[in-house]
Amino acid sequence: MDPTTDIRHHIGGSWADAGTGRTYDKLDPWSGAVFARVAAGDADDARLAVDAAAAAAPAWAGTPPGRRQEIFLRAAEALRQRHAEIRRMLAAETGCGAHFAEVQLDFCVNLLRQAAGLAYAATGQILPSDLDGTRALAVRRPVGVVAAIAPWNASLVLAGRAVVAPLAVGNTVVLKPSEEAPRTGGALWAELLAGAGLPPGVLNVITHAPGEAGAVASALIADHRVRRISFTGSTVTGRRLAELAGRHLKRAVLQLGGHNPLLVLADADLDHAVSAAVYGAFVHSGQTCMCARRILVDRSLAAAFTARFVQRAAALPVGDPSDPATVIGPVINEWALSLLTRRVREAVDLGAELLTGGVPAGRCFPPTVLRGVPPAAELAFDETFGPVVLIEETDGVRDAVDRANSSGFGLTAGVLTSDPYRGLDLARRLQAGIVHVNDQPVHDEPQMPFGGVKDSGAGRFGMGFAAEEFTETQWVTTRADPRSYPF
């Protein structure tokens, strides 16, 4: 496989073309040049991948922990040694800048190292029984085949998270990356883990052309051998997948969209609040599910905060993601650029005040700040992937919490206050799966219970919680002596 121009399926340990022979061109979001020619798979390819995963499942589930540990540690070291190469790959494939590329790489090295430790985690417990002479156990067993569906935006992290935890607890995986990140969100993981010694068929990767994800995903979910679905992506798509999984009585772990609030309380340190808000709103060009979409600032600080925040936002460097100085790179494609433009224009037409940005600059959308966005505008209630943030003035803590909780989403939130105990109390009142006190909403670690509530999903990702999500608990009893029965 040519890693720069040719991305193929990985099935049963071998690289393969799509069964139809079709391909598509994945473009560099900055230059518009062809990044790679990619296999355009379909439902038949997906079924072949499940065949391979199902065949490999029994042996992988029985692999000794020391062997699994060696594989994950070797993969971690290979990833660490390829930092510079993969940084360039992330920039060319997804427009990822240097800072966020390092965030992704560091996360994934730690993810693999933690997976190595998970190989030796306890897999059950002894339970008390009221039946004399009976010993009862609760034992966790791998589910078998996991279908992992990953997005493009934090491609390395989100594909790695979808794959590594299920593998670490003894499952095999079929990974379907986004058509916008078939390399860093798909083929690269197969390459790394196979090179580290992962047996054939344990991880399989199927790619597809734009607009053709539904057929591949549906084939994976409908296959009776697939017992768990891991999905990260939009709420609209997640709802469809959950409905399909429900029809097949399959559990889906879903991390969906966010419309995340950052609460700036009256006692917050103004300098820290501005710095935190700039980072939280504009890291990775605003193209992460965790980004602050709404800044809810107390009216007493609003004028000073807004003036400083807008000045900082407008000065952020925009341009080539391969330049280490760039903060705002290109959005992923032309559709995303047009959506941002349309939604900002709609908000302004409905009466919002545009404080900076709002007009595309080539393939980039500059940092954009709006105030007074009316509730009817799409920016006010729907997740908008890009460097766009709304400022709302609030009247005290109760108003801030009520506004934060008014969203249908509930992924993550930040609370900035000089009183951390007050922040902890507010965390209890906020309807979000994740709350960062005295920090902005963008933060994750491999071992943490990452996930949302309401329209932001169900279940928790994180290495420490993989056993709960990607195994089945089996109740086993044993007796040394025969029971006596009443008849």
**Which amino acid is present at 460?**
R
Q: Any idea what DSSP says for residue 483?
A: P
Give 208-233 pLDDT, tens digit per residue.
999 999 999 999 999 999 999 999 99
Spatial distance between the Cα atoms of 110 and 79, rounded to a whole number of angstroms: 10
Please give the order of strands across the beta sheet that includes 124-127.
124-127, 134-142, 471-479
CA distances from 131 to 125, 126, 433, 475 (A): 17, 14, 40, 15
Residue keyed to tokens 């801030």: 400
120 in Cβ contact with 65 (< 8 Å) = yes
Give 380-393 pLDDT, tens digit per residue.
999 999 999 999 99
CA distances from 337 to 164, 317, 343, 344, 364 (A): 32, 18, 10, 11, 8
* pLDDT given at position 1: 39
pLDDT reading at 2 higher than 70:
no
Give 410-462 pLDDT, tens digit per residue.
999 999 999 999 999 999 999 999 999 999 999 999 999 999 999 999 999 99
Task: Tell me the pLDDT of the chain averaged across its residues.
Answer: 96
Spatial distance between the Cα atoms of 458 and 442, rounded to a whole number of angstroms: 19
Give 45-67 pLDDT, tens digit per residue.
999 999 999 999 999 999 999 99
Spatial distance between the Cα atoms of 161 and 171, rounded to a whole number of angstroms: 14
* pLDDT given at position 278: 98
Give 161-186 pLDDT, tens digit per residue.
999 999 999 999 999 999 999 999 99
pLDDT reading at 153 higher than 70:
yes
Q: Any idea what DSSP says for residue 256?
A: -
For residue 388, what is the enclosing H or E element?
strand 388-394
Spatial distance between the Cα atoms of 250 and 69, rounded to a whole number of angstroms: 29
* pLDDT given at position 467: 84
Helix axes 98-118, 65-81, angle to 10 degrees: 170
pLDDT band at 5 (very low <50, low <70, confident <90, very high): low
106 in Cβ contact with 156 (< 8 Å) = no
Q: Which residues of 143-172 are buried (b: 16+ CB within 10 A; e: fewer)?
A: bbbbbbbbbbbbbbbbbbbbbbbbbbbbbb
Q: Any idea what DSSP says for residue 463?
A: G
Alpha helices, H only, 257-407: 270-282, 299-314, 334-349, 378-381, 396-405
Spatial distance between the Cα atoms of 394 and 296, rounded to a whole number of angstroms: 6
Spatial distance between the Cα atoms of 145 and 229, rounded to a whole number of angstroms: 9
pLDDT reading at 133 higher than 60:
yes
Give 65-76 pLDDT, tens digit per residue.
999 999 999 999
Nearest residue to 460 via CA among 434, 427, 428: 434
pLDDT reading at 3 higher than 80:
no
**Tokens, residue 92:** 């060319």
Q: What is the pTM of this model?
A: 0.94
* Percent of the chain at pLDDT exceeding 70: 99
Q: Calculate mean pLDDT across residues 357-383.
A: 96
